[in-house]
Chain A
Amino acid sequence: MDIDIIELSDTKARFVLNDVEPAIANGLRRVILAEVPTMAIDYVNIYDNTSVLFDEQIALRMGLIPLITDLESYVLPEDCDCGGEGCTRCQLSLNLSAEGSKIIYSGDLLSSDPKVTVADEKIPIIDLRERQTLVLEAVAKLGIGRKHAKWQAGVGCGYKNMPVITIKEDCDSCGRCVDECPRNVLVINNDKLEVTDPLKCNLCKLCMGICDIDAINVIEKPNSYIFNIETDGSYPAKELVIQGADTIILKAGQLKEILSEIE
């Protein structure tokens, strides 16, 4: 297995994963989407709300705000010593007290733990008008994406096969494939057909269909995948992939333990 990184920023990662079975590539994708624990607001005590939104709507909006996750200080409520009742190991509170008229942003939430803050401070929660107030306490817990999408750290995660485009010697550079390609991967340079960026190819094979002399060939390279990963801000993209891999190891370990108990 090896990885070629194409693009890596705080919120986005794009890399080529080589020499892996499809099952591992898909396992990584699914774990990033559904199994990596993240912090999200799960419970909201509303003390006063005279805004235009109902309490439930405000609570739903709060849940979707991404929080920076610190897996070293917190554990999942079901794994906690308190048994999920709520203690400082498995939950924290964020407070908000505001009066109109102004727009209340996610950055106005005051966290009880300086390490766990909102990942994006510019999310408008509610537009308060004159004499409208909002006072609430939100309780954030760790959770996994399989349970609710608010705990999903990876957004728009996916992969595609690595395309291999070969142009044969007998290509007459008619240019019909260039017009046909929806991703503008092909170009005619000095009367010769060339591939600009094979990573852009979406393997639709329209170029193969339009070529009368079968001079162009597009195949999927086996066991090589282009991964696209985006995060909601709760983890940096690199950290999210590492956490995903760790979760696979953890799950494989659990399976091993169960199997070893069977005689």
Chain B
Amino acid sequence: MIPVRCFTCGKVIASSWEEYERRVSEFENPGKVLDDLGIDRYCCRRMLLSHIKLVDTFAPYQ
């Protein structure tokens, strides 16, 4: 799951994840999507840019 807040500054970034994921999967430029979502600082940007979803990987082993 995407962390709720940015590790460095504490801005809530989880609520932007779904729009980010959807738009990036439609081959939009991630940098531009982050600008649109109002995620300006590089600490918050790396949270979304570098996130890897693991729920699907773990789900079969419950």
Contacts and interface: CB of A to CB of B under 8 A. Distances in A.
B46 interface: no
A53 B11 CA distance: 22
Contacts of A61: 1, 4
A215 interface: no
A152 B59 CA distance: 33
B5 interface: yes
Nearest to A11: B38
B30 to A, nearest CB: 19
Contacts of B1: 53, 61, 124-127
A52 B55 contact: yes
B42 to A, nearest CB: 12
Interface residues of B, number: 18
A46 interface: no
Interface string A72-99: 0000000000000000000000000000
Given A64-B4, A122-B18, A149 B10 contact: yes
Main secondary structure of the interface of A (DSSP, over half): loop
Contacts of A53: 1
Contacts of A126: 1
Contacts of A120: 12, 15
B59 A232 contact: no
A209 interface: no
B9 to A, nearest CB: 5
A129 B62 contact: yes
Contacts of A152: 10
B58 interface: yes
A258 to B, nearest CB: 32
A64 B5 CA distance: 7
B14 interface: yes
A9 B62 CA distance: 44
B55 A233 contact: no
B23 interface: no
Interface of A: 50-53, 61, 64-66, 120, 122-127, 129, 132, 149, 152, 155-156, 230, 232-233
Interface of B: 1-2, 4-6, 9-12, 14-15, 17-18, 41, 55, 58-59, 62
Give the 5 A-B residue pairs with the shortest CB-CB distance, closest first: A64-B4, A122-B15, A155-B10, A52-B58, A123-B14
6 contacts: A64-B4, A123-B12, A124-B14, A124-B18, A129-B55, A232-B12
